[in-house]
Amino acid sequence: MSDESEEVDESDDTEEADEANETRESSYRADTDWPVLALMRDHGRPYLHLAVAGLLIRLVWIVPGQASTAILGYAYDTLFSDAREFAPPLVPQAWIQEPIDQLWLVAGAMLGLTVFGKLFQVLRTLSWGAFAFNLQHDVRTGTYDTVQRLEMGFFDDHQTGEVMSILNNDVNEMEAFFTDTIDDAMTAVSFLLGVGFFMVLLNWQFTLVALAVAPVIVAANYWFSGRIGAAYGAIRETTGKLNAQLQNSVSGISVVKAYTAEPFEYDRVGNASRAVVDAGLELVDIRARHYPSMRALTGLGVVLTFGIGAFWVVDGPPGPFTLTLTAGTLLTFLLYTQRISWPMIEVAGVIDSYQSAKASADRILGVQRAAESVTERPDATELDAVDGGVSYDDVTFAYPESDRGDPTNGDGGENGPVLTDVSFDVDPGETVGIVGPTGAGKSTLLKLLMRFYDVDEGSVQLDGHDVRDLTVDSVRDAVGYISQDPFLFSGTVRANVTYGTPQTDEAAVWTALERAEADAFVADLPDGLDTTIGERGVRLSGGQRQRLCLARTMLHDPDVLILDEATSHVDNETEALIQRSIASLVAERTTLIVAHRLSTVRDADRIVVLDDGEVAEVGTHDELLDADGLYASLWHVQVGDVQSLPTEFVDRVEQRADAITTD
């Protein structure tokens, strides 16, 4: 009798959608032969006892799990047809003289098997589930921790989406592999083992007849799973293309409308969708054959078992066979053969799932093993009592081959050095602007100070110490960094402003907000400091977000401040506003301001003009205008005075803009 809820029928139809998501490619590869095992070794150890317990319970119950069908056959022979004497092992004959007592015993045994079997099943499911969930949790937090400790180069190179997809989809894929696939496969295998045990025990010769179709089922399944795999592949591919097409059409909707290209897009999407339909129909065809053929083969097995079995029972062993077969045993065999195909389907499915679990494990391990590019020297010292003197001494730097650098400002587009022999000093308390055309290496210069990267030649010094001799933490503690994307965490205003300085009291928070000119709008927020901002909360404008970041940096109170295009994403008027709050932040500390918009650095104590990774000019705004060099040309651009630009400047701009970056 059916003992587990095994019915494969439609259960895998829903996989279609999941599998379609597997189209992405990833640059992470761990190059391990057995990534799933490696992952289990790294993260599964503390929970191994749970897995072992689940496995043991399963092993113990393999034989009892299939016993009730055998008992039923036995009961038929002894109670209903007198083919055999009712003499079960271990039970005193005196208790079971009457047929009705024998019936009670059979019923009791079957009920007992059910109840115990299900109890075991509960324990098994719980301990196996606990193993899989804990493994998932461990892999996720472990991977996250590794990722967040990787150096910035990693994040320049890899998009947030890709990292997220590993932390999410791949980790979930692993969990599903363990809770669903492996568990189902083990159930299937246990069934086959249990059934095989009883068949051989009851009549090994008849077993040969009953299982005659099994090899055919295995072979057919193997054939089908290959075809199904290929059909899924086609679906994944066409779905990927359809999604790309949809994404394209939806993202470009304003172009579509401006060109009244709706019918054109309709056709394009229609073609892509039709390709999905074709691939889908292919799968429909295979599936429509697969399950019914399995049923037909099973039916063949049942008919064979029944036909030969019935002759055997009535006329004695046919042909080479010698053992006798009773009607009850035939009944048991019939019940077993009826359900022989699902475990084979199940096991064939494991191969497919293992492939995708393997790919997931490979990506997870790939991230975990990505090496850090900036390492701390063993004798690195803490930096304390910072004056804020910064000097760049003959700095030359090229991005490593694998890193593309930041594509938005083009630094390091080619593999040549981004910075060549850059030298300049900044006195404590001085404000220095760093300007230059796109791709001149402005931001890179600052990343070296933050130790997001290390120089190839020369050195960057902070108060006379080479930053590579200092601990990463103490350098970053001394240097505050404000980027062009004012990033706020989802959470309250307070949590964001006191980020990294959680002990700050309310008065200090308000003072910082006031100096950042953010106090007025924060006070107007529905819950003041405790208003939730970010995706699920109040949306703030770019200028407001940047002012909160400024307040955060004020509480952090760094000795050296870096503004990396901090105002390039807000409009001119808002910048004028933020300038005032920046002025109060800048006043008492060394400040390096990278800006593309020259209006931002106009008032700096000194302006360093970079060009193609080299220092081209240094001076104040007025000095540089008088010098009539690169800065002066850039200034003409800033004020829209295109006519007065020298032709060689325009030619260079053109060359640079036309440069093709192929990667």
Q: Could you tell me the CA-to-CA distances from 74 to 21, 198, 321, 326, 631 in Å, in that order?
A: 51, 12, 21, 9, 99
CA distance 490 to 470: 33
Is residue 91 part of the contact set for other proteins (CB under 8 A)?
Answer: no
CB of 100 to other proteins, least distance (A): 7
Exposure string over 148-179, b if 16+ CB within 10 A, otherwise e: eebbbbbebbbeeebbebbbebbbebbbbbbb
φ/ψ of residue 408, rounded to 5: -70, -30
Which member of 226, 407, 528, 646 binds other proteins (CB under 8 A)? 407
Residue from the set 24, 45, 49, 295 that interacts with other proteins by CB under 8 A: 295
Handedness of CA 513, 515, 518, 523 (dihedral sign): positive
Closest distance between other proteins and the C-beta of residue 82, in Å? Answer: 10
Please, which of residues 434-493 interact with other proteins by CB under 8 A?
A: 437-438, 450, 452, 473, 476-477, 479-481, 483, 487-490
CB 573 → other proteins: shortest distance, Å? 4
Per the rule left: phi > 0, alpha: psi between -120 and 50, beta: everything else, 499 is beta
Q: Return the residue of 28, 47, 61, 76 that touches other proteins, per CB under 8 A.
A: 76
| Smallest distance, other proteins to C-beta of residue 394, A | 26
Least distance from other proteins to the Cβ atom of residue 261, Å: 4
Name the minimum Å distance from CB 627 to other proteins.
18
Shorter beta-carbon distance to other proteins: residue 32 or 212 = 212
CB of 603 to other proteins, least distance (A): 8
- Contact present, 312 and 265 (Cβ < 8 Å): no
Quote the CA–CA distance of 477 and 480 in Å, as a whole number: 7
Count the residues of the shown chain that bind other proteins, applying the rule CB under 8 A: 180
Q: Does 240 bind other proteins (CB under 8 A)?
A: no
Instruction: Verify binding: residue 155, other proteins, rule CB under 8 A.
Output: yes
293 scored as a contact of other proteins (CB under 8 A): yes
Indicate the residue among 331 and 458 with the shorter CB distance to other proteins: 331
Is 471 within 8 Å of 376 (Cβ atoms)? yes
Q: Tell me, residue by residue from 566 to 605, as one string, x for binding to other proteins by CB under 8 A and - for no binding.
A: -----xxxxxxx-xx---------------xxxxx-xx--
Q: How far apart are CA 28 and CA 147, in angstroms?
A: 12
Does 141 interact with other proteins (rule: CB under 8 A)?
Answer: yes
Amino acid letter for position 637: V
Site for other proteins in 311-350 (CB under 8 A): 311, 313-314, 327, 330-331, 334-335, 338
CB of 438 to other proteins, least distance (A): 5
* Chain center to CA of 329: 53
> 309 phi and psi, to 5 degrees?
-60, -45
User: Applying CB under 8 A, which of residues 500, 557, 587, 646 lies at the interface with other proteins?
Assistant: 500
Of residues 164 through 183, those in contact with other proteins by CB under 8 A are: 164, 167-168
DSSP assignment of 427-472 equals -TT-EEEEE-STTSSHHHHHHHHTTSS--SEEEEEETTEEGGGB-H
